[in-house]
Chain A
Amino acid sequence: MSAVDPSFELDGQRVPLQPGDTILAAAARAGLDIPYLCWSAEVSASASCRLCTVLADGRPVAACVTPAVAGQKVECRSASLDVQRLRLLQMLFVEGNHFCPGCEKSGNCVLQVQAERAGMTDLHFETLNPERPVDASHPDVLFEPNRCILCQLCVRASDEIDDKQVFAIGGHGIATRLLIDSPSGRLGDSALSVGDRAAHICPVGALLPKRVGFAVPIGQRRFDTEDTRG
């Protein structure tokens, strides 16, 4: 390894570095998969989902916000990290109301595909079945809070890309929820328009453009493969 060619090691594989890289960004450029839910190259990182937790020289860090350091040894895939990711995903599933069979995001859903890749077959925990009324007040965008995982991608997209600040996170602990900046607190009275990036960046089915739900049929979606859809 030369000084002009800095790199770190991810699960034994060499990953080239560029100045300012986080561990996740460098790994993504090298085509290596570190699981995440709340990260997007379009907006700043929030490190809220913690699915991308890796061991950097033995220390647990969120790969999406931790600068990559030349010569570092990073561990992403291990039995204990895999179980930790599985439990995080199971907690997200039981905290909301996630019914994949009836969700139009199925096949395009990042939460779903991460759980499938993590080998999740059951929920492990008790379901909480929170009561969260659907907000269909907006003419072009549906807000389904039962599926919200509080990743803050819409918060950041509305702020940083759309320059509107339609969304925010409010409350504490298990009562934490997505807030909408409008006099009524409903999406229909907010400044959101369907052309906004915030209306499309949701990794799950919490914010959905209306009337295009099944324009791409099940079986031909982003995460559909021949393996799963025969």
Chain B
Amino acid sequence: MNAPPIPEAPRKLRVATVSLGGCFGCHMSLLDIDERLLELIEKVDFDRSPLTDIKTVGECDVGLIEGGLCNAENVEVLRAFRAHCRVLVAVGACAITGGLPALRNHLDVGDMLQSVYGEVPDDPELPLPLNRVLPIHEVVHIDHALPGCPPPADAFWQLLQDLIAGRTPVQAPGLIRYD
């Protein structure tokens, strides 16, 4: 008699995260789910992320984008995430609005570089700054957004629980905040 096959565990969700023109505060808030991290890693694998130090993004279920678009490298990374992530989430005020880096938007980039560095830096390793800091929805399609500076840890938890369960994420009223 053959033993009945043991059902496979559900496939883990593959999650990538990145901070573009951000301060990593949103990533810190994600870590603030504290001991729930142990429950989370039972259900998700992390792909490219500051948590894994993987440098390129692979095929993923979810991409969490912190920060707005300040330079050409930010745009390239964002497009790679969009191409590889089934669900892309704008995380935090900078990704959604451009945030505090966008305060430079009424200043001339050349003038700023001149006044900060005394000259306009010319090095092929430096990504070109954009004329205007952009929120990410102005460049790629975004599926969901978690507002806040940073979004509360519970907002990350709610979002990931919804996505793991296959539900459309809904933010509870108390979890929507902008500061």
- Do these two chains really belong together in a complex? yes
Q: Give me the interface of A with B, judged by CB distance under 8 Å.
A: 93, 97-103, 106-107, 112, 115-117, 119-124, 126-127, 129, 131, 218, 225, 227-228, 230
A106/B178 in contact, CB under 8 A: yes
A101/B93 in contact, CB under 8 A: yes
Q: How far is the CB of A227 from chain B (nearest CB, A)?
A: 3
Contact code string B125-167 (vs A, CB < 8 Å = 1, else 0):
0000000101101100010111101001000000000000000
Stretch of B11-19, B44-52, B102-110, B112-120 that contacts chain A: B102-110
* 18 CB < 8 A contacts A-B: A101-B93, A101-B99, A102-B100, A106-B178, A112-B178, A115-B178, A117-B173, A120-B176, A121-B96, A121-B145, A121-B146, A122-B96, A123-B96, A127-B97, A127-B134, A129-B106, A225-B174, A227-B173
B171/A129 in contact, CB under 8 A: no
A121/B176 in contact, CB under 8 A: yes
Contact count band on B: 20 to 34
Q: How far is the CB of B19 from chain A (nearest CB, A)?
A: 16
Known: A121-B144, A121-B146. A131 touches B106 (CB 8 A): yes
List the B side residues contacting A116 at CB < 8 Å. 173, 176-178
Chain B residue at smallest Cβ distance from A218: B179
B142/A122 in contact, CB under 8 A: yes
A127/B176 in contact, CB under 8 A: no
A51 to B16, CA, bound (A): 38
